[in-house]
Amino acid sequence: MDLHGEYLIIGSGIAALRAAASLDGAGDVLILTKGGAREGNTGYAQGGIAAAVGPDDSPARHLADTLAAGDGLCDERAVAVLVDEGPRYVRELMAWGAAFDRAPDGSPALAIEGAHSVRRVLHARDATGREIGRVLWERVSPMPNVRIVDHARAVALIVEDGRCAGVRFLQDGAGMAVARARCTLLATGGAGQVYSDTTNPHVATGDGVAIAYRAGAAVADLEFVQFHPTALKRHGQPRFLLSEALRGEGARLVNADGEPFMLRYDPAGDLAPRDRVSRGIAREEQRTGQPVYLTLAHLDPAYVHQRFPEISAACRGAGLDLAVDRIPVGPAAHYAMGGVVTDLDGRTTIPGLLSAGEVACTGVHGANRLASNSLLEGLVFGARAGNAMRASRDRSIDPDTVRALQPSGSTASDRMGTAGSDSGRQRFDGASVRELMWRHVGLFRDGDGLRTALAALDRAWDALGATVDDPDAMATVTAEQWQAASLVTVGRLIARAAWRREESRGGHFRLDFPERDDRHWRRRVMEIR
Ligand code: FAD
Ligand code: SIN
């Protein structure tokens, strides 16, 4: 089954759906999405969406907090767009029916999370993403020019005469097919599943970065992975997120003796930026040899259960009472700051290909994303990408945007693998990549670990060989193998960037280079195949 549309959107999260909403009344829009139509990171978002709508807030203040969290690497122009346009798009969501929690005077109730200087996080209890997804879905799915095909996994871009002409995709039970369009938007979300411990759902395997990179698009900032400090830690269980909003409402991190410990590691304590809290937790676990907990036992139990119903239910499912028990927590891979390089309208380095949301790298997050800025990014830059598609400006990214990144392409010395050896042809499964990444390219990194990871990932990359690039050979590749191909491609890009960046900054921490080094590294690492 080959499909055609004027506009092709890959994914169905906040970025994809807000882009589609911009195409209301335009030409045919085809949306392909890998799982069920509502499956993706957006539906799991808990804490909320940040926007400067409060009386004591301003875009300038939101900008300052975002730049501080980004640790010297944000693209200030992109951040200015995010914070200036954010309130307008959030109000639009409310006008479309988003039921955010309200203060007694009827204004949006605003929460605070780590590294925000004021309360600015709008939320719908602890299931904000589900509410936003519902509103956008109800807006987009009835549009007469929209067709949605679910369980359709994009696996490769079609690039003809240097332009993106669509994608090849694998539909459950129907084999490989082609979707062609004048303009394609990648909105495939994050890559948390590259790690064994993650808050992300199973669809978040970094496919967008993998297929864009394999087609020749520029990618950047991939060494910056955000590890959320507080995922519910139960042996052998997926890491369920315990929102930072819990700490915003007064929850404390304590060690096994019940002592608050974060001030030992950071003057901002429990609400320091996420990277610092995550490392604080890991260090406290190392220091004490014991688990670390979140406690809300000092708060009003009725309020805790009413404010956090989903998290309460998840804890109950694990045999714990959120308001009473100490909840075992630990860091888990949560968010990819890097991705496919775009300009302010979502254009990538390949004409006809745009990108928005977590898969994109607009530069708004720098080295570390400010809490609750991700939904906002998907909303604002999804809308802008949709507008750019509609305006039919048939251009790729402004070359100045790429030049500003000071590209560092691959060199022979970047290779750690032994191409051509027997081990070079070994197949790599997803679980091995995830374990390898967690162990060597996680919260704490060093040259030896990164070299070990890269040697294995280079071999796995070689084993993928031409199969994933050759349209004829592609037909034989299974869905499981495509998934492993994404994990290998993205894992290797993260590890390469982490190995190159010989300093510590934001989400990237090198034990062998523990200091931030602005003289050499106040620049972004970009890669083009
Ligand atoms: P997604 O919502 O992940 O959507 C991506 C879509 O692409 C999905 O539909 C997926 O199925 C599809 N897809 C993927 N690969 C393919 C493929 N190969 N072919 C076709 N389709 C594909 N951020 C905040 O700002 N505030 C929060 O409170 C918050 N809480 C979070 C809680 C959790 C548990 C998680 C995991 C994330 C949270 N985040 C939060 C981050 C935020 O939810 C995401 O960054 C954001 O929703 C990403 O939106 P997106 O549209 O880019 O991607
Ligand atoms: C959370 O609720 O802690 C997640 C918020 C985010 O990822 O921004």
Beta pairing, strands 225-232 & 327-336: antiparallel
Q: 200 CB under 6 A from ligand 1? A: yes
C-alpha distance from residue 284 to each of 198, 337, 363 (Å): 20, 26, 32
CA of 13 to the centre of ligand 1 (A): 6
The structure tokens listed for 119 are 């309360």
| Candidate from 38, 46, 374 with most ligand 1 atoms within 8 A of CB, to mutate | 374
Q: 245 CB under 6 A from ligand 2? A: yes
Residue 394 pLDDT grade (very low, low, confident, very high; cuts 50, 70, 90): low
| Candidate from 42, 153, 384 with most ligand 1 atoms within 8 A of CB, to mutate | 42
Question: Would you say 526 and 408 are in contact if contact means Cβ atoms under 8 Å apart?
Answer: yes
Domains of the chain plus CATH, in order, are 229-333 (3.90.700.10), 406-527 (1.20.58.100)
Cα of first residue to Cα of last residue in the chain, in angstroms, is: 30
| For the CA of 12, the nearest atom of ligand 1 | 9
Exposure class string for 419-450: b at 16+ Cβ within 10 A, else e: eeeeebeeebebebbbebbbebbbbbbbeebb
C-alpha distance from residue 200 to each of 44, 45, 194, 270 (Å): 8, 10, 10, 23
pLDDT tens digits, residue range 224-234? Answer: 999 999 999 99
Lowest mean pLDDT among 5-9, 78-82, 235-239: 235-239
pLDDT tens digits, residue range 432-458? Answer: 999 999 999 999 999 999 999 999 999
Helix (H, G, I), strand (E, B) or coil at 68: helix
Q: 246 CB under 6 A from ligand 1? A: no
Q: Which residue has the higher pLDDT, 469 or 352?
A: 352
Give me the mean pLDDT over the 370-398 stretch: 89
pLDDT tens digits, residue range 17-70? Answer: 999 999 999 999 999 999 998 899 999 999 999 999 999 999 999 999 999 999
CA of 44 to the centre of ligand 1 (A): 8
Closest residue by Cα to atom 40, ligand 1, is: 45
| For the CA of 486, the nearest atom of ligand 1 | 18
Q: Which ligand is nearest to the CA of 44?
A: 1
Cα maximum dimension of the chain = 69
If you search the block for the tokens 């309200």, which residue do you land on? 102
pTM: 0.95
Give me the mean pLDDT over the 470-475 stretch: 85
C-alpha distance from residue 252 to each of 156, 482, 527 (Å): 45, 42, 40
Q: How many whole angstroms separate alpha carbon 167 and alpha carbon 78?
A: 28
Q: Residue 395: its pLDDT value, please?
A: 63
Q: How many whole angstroms separate alpha carbon 217 and alpha carbon 209?
A: 9
Q: How many whole angstroms separate alpha carbon 421 and alpha carbon 425?
A: 7
Q: How many whole angstroms separate alpha carbon 414 and alpha carbon 471?
A: 28
pLDDT tens digits, residue range 175-222? Answer: 899 999 999 999 999 999 999 999 999 999 999 999 999 999 999 999
Exposure class string for 337-364: b at 16+ Cβ within 10 A, else e: bbbbbbbbbbbbbbbbbbbbbbbbbbbb
Residue 346, phi-psi category: left (phi > 0), alpha (psi -120 to 50), beta (remainder): left
Give me the mean pLDDT over the 393-415 stretch: 56
Beta bridge partners of 198: 333
Which positions are catalytic?
Answer: 274
Q: Among 245, 242, 247, which Cα is nearest to 266's?
A: 247
Q: How many whole angstroms separate alpha carbon 195 and alpha carbon 175?
A: 28
| For the CA of 211, the nearest atom of ligand 1 | 18
